[in-house]
Amino acid sequence: MATNHSRALGDGLPEDPSDLLPEESVLSLEEYLAMHAAVGHRTRYEILYRLVHGGDMSPKELEDAIGVDDSTLHYHLNKLVDVGLVEKRQRTERGQDGLYTYYRATVFGEVTLTDGVDELIRGEQAFTSMYDSSAED
């Protein structure tokens, strides 16, 4: 079905959600949606939450913090890396011969988490406390 890109919905919003993207957008709407879908899984949400709020972490640190096995962790880390929410980094540690691997949230990961799921949770907390205080009156 063809859409009329010039027709606007209420509040001046375009009919086609793709038209919300800046003309020179780095990502497509599908890529943004893939990011949100990826963080919709509990384990991936927990990984991203820890990386955003706790900083860079090694796979072993994430394993211990989340309580998942190595293969499960890497499966979910790869999904987060694939959609651009997390990046895998390597560096040489002083006194070590090999590379040290760690993960960190990207800007997209941080925004997706803090302005997405975290914001929804904060909104519910505010609503609940507002409702609870009005119920006491």
CA distance 96 to 111: 34
CA distance 81 to 77: 6
At 21, list the tokens.
């993207």
CA distance 120 to 28: 24
82 phi, psi to nearest 5 deg: -60, -40
Domain segments of the chain: what residues?
Answer: 26-132
Q: Decide: pTM greater than 0.85.
A: no
pLDDT tens digits, one per residue of 82-117? 999 999 998 776 666 667 889 999 999 998 888 887
pLDDT band at 126 (very low <50, low <70, confident <90, very high): confident
* Domain 26-132 sits in CATH 1.20.120.330: no
pLDDT tens digits, one per residue of 58-81? 999 999 999 999 999 999 999 999
CA distance 58 to 90: 10
Task: With beta carbons less than 8 A apart as the criterion, state whether 132 and 109 touch.
Answer: no
pLDDT tens digits, one per residue of 1-58? 344 444 556 677 778 878 888 888 888 888 888 998 999 999 999 999 999 999 999 9
Residue 53 has a pLDDT of: 94
